[in-house]
Amino acid sequence: MKMGAVQAFGRLDILVNNAGTTRDMLIMRMKEEDWDVVLNTNLKSAFNCCKVAARTMMKQRYGRIVNMTSVSGLAGQAGQTNYSASKAGLVGFTKALAKELGSRNITVNAVAPGFVYTDLTADLPQEFQDLFLEMTPLGRFGTTEDMANAVAFLVSDEASFITGQVLSVDGGLVMQ
């Protein structure tokens, strides 16, 4: 028998969509399968989770949703048309969903990390890591704790009047 959050805890107050994968390749060489895997993992999964969570949150008249996007979704990245499109899609999805759910006291925001050491970035060639570090005004890479702190703020009561926003947590890498 499956046990969901509502059955286990009686409520569902917070949803953080943090799925992410890459299949980097120039578009001329990109396989359609690689496009689909990235879009399904990074964008469609957020749709599926939000669709289910929104029903409960609307009944409660309360909820906090945070979608993890990327600076690649804000500025694009060569060799990442699929990843950039999926993360840009999350930006539009976040803003539209914030408008749909706001009247029910549900906030929907996004966090756009810059370069952070994770399993997703571990295999990036050193020359690219050096380039990102040089382009980051704060002169360091982000940490998972930096991202967690941003999410914790957006789901807190202190952020109760913030919705439909994208918070770049990137050390200044992409300023818009």
Dihedral sign from CA coordinates of 108, 112, 117, 121 = positive
Q: What are the DSSP calls for the chain, one per residue?
A: ----HHHHHS---EEEE---------TTT--HHHHHHHHIIIIIHHHHHHHHHHHHHHHHT-EEEEEE--HHHHH--TT-HHHHHHHHHHHHHHHHHHHHHGGGTEEEEEEEE-SB-STTTTTS-HHHHHHHHHH-TTSS-B-HHHHHHHHHHHTSGGGTT--S-EEEESTTSS--
Among residues 35, 63, 83, 169, which one is catalytic? 83
Is 62 a catalytic site residue?
no
Catalytic residue ranges: 83
